[in-house]
């Protein structure tokens, strides 16, 4: 049983598609009342997300059409992630991968030992064969993540916080999962402004732990400010 300040998280062992024993988490207690700082951050999340969506709507509409036209597949991709208090939610992005991406990943992991090792370490592939040419551009510019503003408005995410993880990543966090699950995952965070995929997974976990302990309005605004040059310079994006 995992205990978080905001409630109790029960971890059940399950087996994923690759036969790996992992933990799934379910939340079983009420969420405590938000602090003043958390309320201010939530208001900022809503105001800034709405402003960005309205301002960039013409660009996002063009991107949506381009994603559809490239192969007539879905515009958005929703993936199940672990959020605050261990609750699962659908995290949305503009689709940057081929429509049969999951099947391609399974075949690659079964036949390529190097790719399998890279995936096991970071849940990322530097030369990912699933990504489309237009999808690569979306990822380089971080435009693929704009639909997550809808997750922010719904309350699944915050603009700033740990990157939302999948179920199999819980074991990589170990005891630090308690800190991860005590805050909303974010569209940006310490990991992104420090170099994104150029940062080791161990350091990423340490950053998530640090953020959860020092979360404040000032840190929230600082990370938002530092995200702009990080995106423009495309540090660690692939």
| Tokens standing for residue 76 | 């958005």
Q: In the prediction, which pLDDT does 237 show? A: 56
More confident site: 118 or 49: 49
What pairs with residue 82 in β-bridges? Answer: 88, 165
Alpha helices, H only, 112-195: 113-122, 133-141, 148-154, 170-173, 177-180, 190-194
- pTM score, whole prediction: 0.78
Q: In the prediction, which pLDDT does 6 show? A: 41
Does 121 fall in a domain? no
Whether the Cβ atoms of residue 45 and residue 159 lie closer than 8 Å to each other: yes
When pLDDT is averaged across residues 60-83 and rounded to a whole number, the result is 94
Statement: residue 182 has pLDDT above 70: yes
Q: How far is CA 85 from CA 5, 33, 179, in A?
A: 9, 13, 10
Phi and psi torsions of 27, nearest 5° = -95, 130
Structure confidence at residue 232 as a pLDDT band (50, 70, 90): confident
Statement: residue 62 has pLDDT above 90: yes
Q: In the prediction, which pLDDT does 229 show? A: 86
Distance, CA of 32 to CA of 53 (rounded, Å): 30
When pLDDT is averaged across residues 136-150 and rounded to a whole number, the result is 93
Does 40 fall in a domain? yes
Statement: residue 7 has pLDDT above 70: no
Strands 2-4 and 7-15, by their bridges, are: antiparallel
Per DSSP, 148 falls in state H
- Total domain count, the chain: 1
When pLDDT is averaged across residues 41-65 and rounded to a whole number, the result is 97
Does 116 fall in a domain? no
Question: Which residue, among 91, 93, 85, 100, has the nearest Cα to 25 in the 3D structure?
Answer: 85
When pLDDT is averaged across residues 189-202 and rounded to a whole number, the result is 80
With both helix axes pointing from N to C terminus, report the angle between 217-232 and 36-55 in degrees, rounded to the nearest 10: 30
Statement: residue 122 has pLDDT above 60: yes
Does 172 fall in a domain? yes
What pairs with residue 15 in β-bridges? Answer: 21
Per DSSP, 14 falls in state E
3 state DSSP class of 125 = coil
Does 110 fall in a domain? no
Domain that holds residue 207: 2-96+131-232
Does 122 fall in a domain? no
Distance, CA of 232 to CA of 12 (rounded, Å): 41
Does 166 fall in a domain? yes
Alpha helices, H only, 56-158: 57-71, 101-111, 113-122, 133-141, 148-154
Does 159 fall in a domain? yes
Q: With pLDDT > 90 as the criterion, what percentage of the chain qualifies?
A: 56
């Amino acid at each position: 049983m995992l205990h978080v300040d905001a409630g109790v998280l029960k971890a059940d062992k399950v087996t994923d598609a690759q036969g790996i024993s992992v933990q799934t988490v379910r939340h079983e207690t009420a969420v405590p009342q938000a602090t003043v700082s958390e309320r201010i951050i939530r208001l900022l999340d809503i105001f800034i997300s709405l402003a960005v969506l309205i301002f960039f709507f013409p660009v996002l509409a063009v991107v949506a059409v381009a994603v559809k036209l490239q192969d007539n597949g879905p515009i958005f991709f929703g993936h199940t992630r672990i959020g605050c208090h261990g609750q699962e939610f659908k995290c949305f992005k503009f689709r940057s991968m081929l429509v049969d991406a999951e099947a391609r990943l399974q075949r690659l992991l079964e036949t390529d030992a190097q790719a399998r090792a890279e995936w096991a370490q970071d849940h990322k592939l530097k030369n990912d064969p699933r990504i489309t040419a237009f999808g690569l551009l979306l990822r380089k510019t971080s435009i693929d993540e704009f639909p997550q503003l809808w997750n922010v408005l719904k309350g699944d995410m915050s603009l700033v916080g740990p990157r939302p993880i999948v179920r199999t990543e819980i074991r990589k966090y170990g005891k630090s999962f308690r800190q991860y699950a005590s805050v909303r995952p974010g569209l940006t965070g310490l990991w992104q402004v420090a170099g994104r995929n150029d940062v080791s997974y161990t350091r990423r976990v340490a950053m998530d732990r640090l953020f959860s302990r020092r979360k404040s309005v000032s840190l929230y605004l600082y990370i938002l400010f530092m995200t702009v040059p990080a995106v423009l310079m495309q540090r660690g994006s692939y």
